[in-house]
Chain A
């Protein structure tokens, strides 16, 4: 013991230490209490919240996209298929240096600047953590092989297999079937995110758009447990996706192809309808485009070429194209006149080549310069006499004219399931006062009588009206859908009321006058298509003016620019005894209906009816 030790006051020493150790013990109790209360807060007070967080951490719902319903033509030929496609996708959270990875990938396979920009754009959008973001779509087998070989180098890079839409028939069906495309911003806001989770595309136009709800199917879910790096460790639960409904359309691939080719090199549209069912057998718009371009997002350059092309290939002329129906409405007006008692079949007028309103200087010309001389109603239809119909329209008045044409489905959307339809326009007094703010003039009634002036209709409407004539007034609803593999959720509009006339014989009259258009040597379509027909056809030509011809001038195609040439129209149904097909053809700036449109219609009708007739003959010869 050294000296200092002896100087110590041990009693005091013990007392001080005792005080301090008691104080320390007191502090320990306090601090332990603090720890315990902290644990209590976490484990009892915040238990619900934190255990939810813990579950959210590990359990992720992974959507399993359903397979989209297939679309078949009436014979079961695939119009819209699903085809596996491989995407190169990146998971941002698992990649250390995103830019380098993208650059390295681009050095291995061909990735365009546009694709890279698109990738970064997608990356900025709202998304779940660890969700793969596609960099390149539609990898080739070679590219897949290259990526697979270099797999070790790229963590967080995935090749995703995905089913994408494929349209094997491409151009001829583009307008009718439509296409799917990438879901855009606007759609994203509108769509039910639940229904579309995991989906990248949506029906944009045509059948694909109209039956989107049904084709889509139901998303399935996989409840997966993932680790902190997003790796799926096990599947806790799975709900299988429900594939979309398969659709069979009335469209006939063969007829569609024939129609498409019949219009080749022209701008125009064809709509063919089966009168009994209303089934749309063919619906073609020329020129067209390859719908497959749109499926995985169309490159902007390709799109702008299509969009800005003067022939407007993206424009569906069949149901959106609004043209003056011209003389094709004459059979309908003839029926109206008879039914209203405005005209007797025997009533004749003299046509000097023009019509004149009393006390008005203006001449309303017949298409035939010298006139047709004495014309009755029937002849007025099959020679397409304008003078007669000026007079008829004037006598009938715009109100009845409007009412009757509307009964045939003109001026409104009547097709059941054509996604894009324009209503066209059948003018009335109310319409003119409402829209133009000026009263109706009698002169306007006159030109309405020959389907000009304000009047507009779509090829789809004309084909529908023709089918109604073929059905002798019985309304059918034009439709694409023949059958579906499941229940259709989409609400479908019903058909308008059928046309009742006071004497059914009036329908015979209309049929006969239209038969003569084709079969009578004086009929407007006889020279072009009536000579060697193997079946009976009722038709009506129409020539729609694109530019007004001045009072003292004559229409001379040679002097006009092509885009100012008349549109050629033709409507027809056949065979007359048992109508199986009704058709409307329009050839833009093609000239007269008889020369431009009727031959096109004949090709389509031949293609449809001749094999059937041959079959019938074969059956008859067998039974004999």
Chain B
């Protein structure tokens, strides 16, 4: 059986060619994903309005970022996946260069250098580490799609190196949350590519000494403090434990129905810290209750399910791996954010995707969805041309 035949056969079994390309297909957009994203971002604006204390400037900026995000998504969707694949190594190198630049000339707050100013436009700053979130799955997917699946030991080592360099650079900023997410994005590709179980178990065995090394040699004092606080927030209720305690109180006091929009006392009376960034889910939980959170999770579930379907239907390995990784990383965002705000995980500074305030994050995430759409809508075209 020729590989070409197998590929076509699998396409047929997935029923892709049976549907004629429609209106959205021509635009390279996915209506389900697009609808869910619009719903999510609109709802997010609602929550942000409350969480920001009805700040007009924050709302305006967020709206602009979202608009830019949708445009970027549409643009990325037009680009055929093979272009991403072709450019992957070069984009990766540029990303690394930017990360080095951050360490050299970066600006930032709270003792961390995370931002880089656009030359000539000092008020416009962006976070190269955010871009790495997108570049990482692309480059790993590119790398592994060039190898036999499941990946050989050599390929695994190569992948790990590809992952480790930017992750190390980001951790040095320091930005634990983002470095973990970037690492996850790369590792997911490896896992989806069929990383052998013996490697997986080996890694788990290695994790124990790794944690020890991390704790004693890599992690900064404030990061350790976060973990300690997470383990026992009541020990320092007025200091480091405050955030976790207050966000739990905010979530819990929302109950099933919530206190009503703009009526959350925890956030409006400043008990809840960072209410419009990382802890925005607590505002939602307080004002709209369990029902509100479940509705939000439903919208997220639609997006993720769609992402998984897209990756399953993707025709090339590169497309499958990339779509899968983008989707899984998106889930990790949600899980880590809600987990940390609800006291399930330590606070690592991960925003709630497309709801928390923040420009670079929105744009990269939307670019990621653009790639998903591209993978989905360039299928038949790819099939025809090859």
Contact = CB atoms under 8 A, between A and B. Distances in A.
B328 interface: yes
Nearest to B328: A24
B249 A50 contact: yes
A21 B248 contact: no
A40 B297 CA distance: 13
B192 interface: yes
A54 B255 CA distance: 12
Given A20-B194, A32-B301, A47-B253, A38 B290 contact: no
Interface stretch (A10-18, A288-296, A488-496): A10-18
Interface on chain A toward B: helix, strand, loop, or mixed SS? helix
Interface in B31-84: none
Contacts of B250: 54
A592 B220 CA distance: 90
Given A21-B192, A32-B297, A57-B265, A43 B271 contact: no
A558 interface: no
B205 interface: no
B148 interface: yes
B308 A228 contact: no
B285 A39 contact: yes
B235 interface: no
B308 A38 contact: no
B269 interface: yes
A46 B250 CA distance: 12
Given A10-B3, A24-B328, A44-B256, A38 B271 contact: no
B333 interface: no
B311 interface: yes
A226 interface: yes
Contacts of A36: 294, 297
A110 B175 CA distance: 50
B344 A47 contact: no
Interface in B179-225: 188, 191-194
Given A6-B3, A16-B149, A58 B252 contact: no
B149 A12 contact: yes
Contacts of A19: 194
A16 B290 contact: no
Nearest to B334: A35
Given A4-B147, A8-B148, A11-B6, A49 B252 contact: yes
A50 B343 CA distance: 14
Interface residues of A, number: 49
Contacts of B344: 34-35, 38
A91 to B, nearest CB: 14
Contacts of B1: 11
A42 B245 CA distance: 12
Contacts of A17: 149, 192-194, 312, 317, 320-321, 324
Nearest to A51: B253
A11 B10 CA distance: 8
B255 A51 contact: yes
A25 B301 CA distance: 11
A229 interface: yes
B356 interface: no
A35 B338 contact: yes
Given A24-B324, A51-B253, A43 B285 contact: yes
Interface residues of B, number: 54
A14 B10 contact: yes
B315 to A, nearest CB: 10
Contacts of B147: 4
B176 interface: no
B249 A53 contact: yes
Contacts of B191: 20, 24
B254 A28 contact: no
A31 interface: yes
A225 interface: yes
A21 B14 CA distance: 15
Given A10-B3, A12-B149, A43 B256 contact: yes
Contacts of B252: 42-43, 46-47, 49-51, 53-54
B365 interface: no
Contact of A42 (B7, B188, B335, B342): B342
A8 B270 contact: no
Given A10-B7, A11-B6, A46-B252, A21 B311 contact: yes
A45 B141 CA distance: 44
A39 B342 CA distance: 7
B308 A58 contact: no
Interface string B244-267: 001011111111100000000110
A233 interface: yes
Contacts of A226: 269
A43 B286 CA distance: 9
The residue in B6, B148, B249, B297 that gathers the most chain A C-beta atoms within 10 A of its C-beta is B249
A243 to B, nearest CB: 33
A34 B339 CA distance: 9
Contacts of B248: 42, 50
A13 B149 contact: yes
A524 to B, nearest CB: 77
A228 B270 contact: yes
Contact of B293 (A13, A21, A39, A227): A39
A2 interface: yes
Given A17-B192, A17-B193, A227 B269 contact: yes
A527 to B, nearest CB: 80
A163 B219 CA distance: 56
A44 to B, nearest CB: 6
A309 B364 CA distance: 84
B177 interface: no
Given A17-B192, A28-B331, A43-B254, A228 B10 contact: no
B279 to A, nearest CB: 13
A35 B194 contact: no
A43 B289 contact: yes
Contacts of A227: 269-271
Interface in A254-290: none
B146 A10 contact: no
Contacts of B10: 10-11, 14
A235 B211 CA distance: 51
A19 B193 CA distance: 10
21 contacts: A8-B149, A10-B6, A10-B10, A17-B312, A17-B317, A17-B324, A21-B192, A21-B320, A24-B328, A28-B304, A38-B343, A44-B256, A44-B290, A47-B253, A50-B249, A50-B251, A50-B252, A50-B253, A51-B253, A53-B253, A54-B266
Given A10-B10, A54-B266, A57-B246, 19 more contacts: A9-B3, A11-B6, A13-B317, A14-B6, A16-B193, A17-B317, A24-B328, A31-B331, A32-B335, A35-B335, A39-B338, A43-B255, A46-B252, A53-B253, A58-B269, A58-B271, A93-B238, A225-B265, A225-B269
Leading 8 A-B pairs by shortest Cβ distance? A50-B252, A54-B253, A16-B194, A51-B253, A42-B252, A228-B270, A227-B269, A43-B290
Interface of B: 1, 3, 6-7, 10, 146-150, 188, 191-194, 238, 246, 248-256, 265-266, 269-271, 285, 289-290, 293-294, 297, 301, 304, 308, 311-312, 317, 320-321, 324, 328, 331, 335, 338-339, 342-344
Interface of A: 2, 4-14, 16-21, 24-25, 28, 31-32, 34-36, 38-40, 42-44, 46-47, 49-51, 53-55, 57-58, 93, 225-229, 233
